[in-house]
Amino acid sequence: MSDKHINARQQLILDRIELYGEVKLVELKETFDVTEMTLRRDLEKLEQLGFVKRTFGGAILISKDITLSERTHVWIDEKVRIGLLAVQFIKPGDSIFLDGGSTTFQVAKCLKSNMNITVVTNALNIAAELQGKEIPTIVVGGLLLERTSTLVGPLAYDALSKLAFDQVFLGTTGATALHGFSNSNMHEAEIKRLAIKQAAEVNIVMDHSKFGMKDLFSFAALTIVDRIITDCSPEQELAQAFMDESVEVVLT
């Protein structure tokens, strides 16, 4: 992608984001002989032109419904650490729900074989990951969303409404004090709302780039989430909002 409104350095930054899906300021500082303020202005310009979305410490390629395969490689190290930490909260005998997403997929990858738990999921890639681990797994049926490898719609909703979970682990594309936790797809947001309703304990697994971001469909207010498992603390205002609503923030 190229644009006559950006300079050569900004084009190189955009090329890197398109290649890797993300970029961090610390990496840009090692590459370009300019100040951090200049690099922040570069990212701001790319965001104004609609190419990227700025995050805490960098930027990601903008896409409202980015495919699962694309998301899998964004903030991958952080997501792996989040997955490793999340499984530590799962107790023997728990029935858990994992919804679709690149971070919840890492939770599934970190589950050890023969764990004394039952997993329910609406994500085909998570079901495939658990195959062979000898963990009882229930796959919710429904309409397949190919971009996210998830099953949604009335069939999925009806199946979930008959189940009860000790814990749910859900992904999100944004978290703000006013809008709560949100998602870009209304069908997935509907599944998340129902899973929360059926759960004794609600965990959100998210990397730091989602803090301060919001998407169209809010699926949970801060007050109904028990725990956020993440890799970095949010900025002070949002951290205070989590504290005010008794949301535990656990860092990798």
| Percentage, residues of the chain above pLDDT 90 | 67
pLDDT at 64 exceeding the cut of 50: no
- Of 152, 160, 143, 101, which Cα lies nearest the Cα of 125? 101
pTM of the shown model: 0.74
Q: In this predicted structure, what is the pLDDT of residue 56?
A: 78
Tell me the CA distances in angstroms from 121 to 30, 55, 105, 127, one per residue in order.
41, 29, 10, 7
Provide φ and ψ at 59, rounded to 5°. -160, 155
Which helix (H) or strand (E) segment holds residue 59: the answer is strand 58-61
Asked if 28 and 46 touch (Cβ cutoff 8 Å), the reply is no
Q: In this predicted structure, what is the pLDDT of residue 54?
A: 85
Q: How confident is the model at residue 63 (pLDDT cuts 50, 70, 90)?
A: low
Q: In this predicted structure, what is the pLDDT of residue 4?
A: 61
Asked if 92 and 125 touch (Cβ cutoff 8 Å), the reply is no
Query: 139-193 pLDDT, tens per residue?
Result: 999 999 888 899 999 999 999 999 999 999 999 989 999 999 999 889 999 999 9
Instruction: Give the span between the Cα atoms of 87 and 107, in whole angstroms.
Output: 6
Mean pLDDT of the chain: 90
Tell me what the mean pLDDT of segment 1-16 comes to.
Answer: 79
Report residue 5 as tokens: 């409104």
Q: In this predicted structure, what is the pLDDT of residue 3?
A: 59
Query: 233-252 pLDDT, tens per residue?
Result: 999 999 999 999 999 999 99
Query: 114-124 pLDDT, tens per residue?
Result: 999 999 999 99
Among left, alpha and beta (phi > 0; psi -120 to 50; other), residue 142 is left
Q: How confident is the model at residue 51 (pLDDT cuts 50, 70, 90)?
A: confident
Which helix (H) or strand (E) segment holds residue 11: the answer is helix 8-20
The residues pairing with 153 across neighbouring beta strands, listed in sequence order, are none
Q: In this predicted structure, what is the pLDDT of residue 65?
A: 47
Q: In this predicted structure, what is the pLDDT of residue 53?
A: 84
Which is more confidently placed, 27 or 224? 224
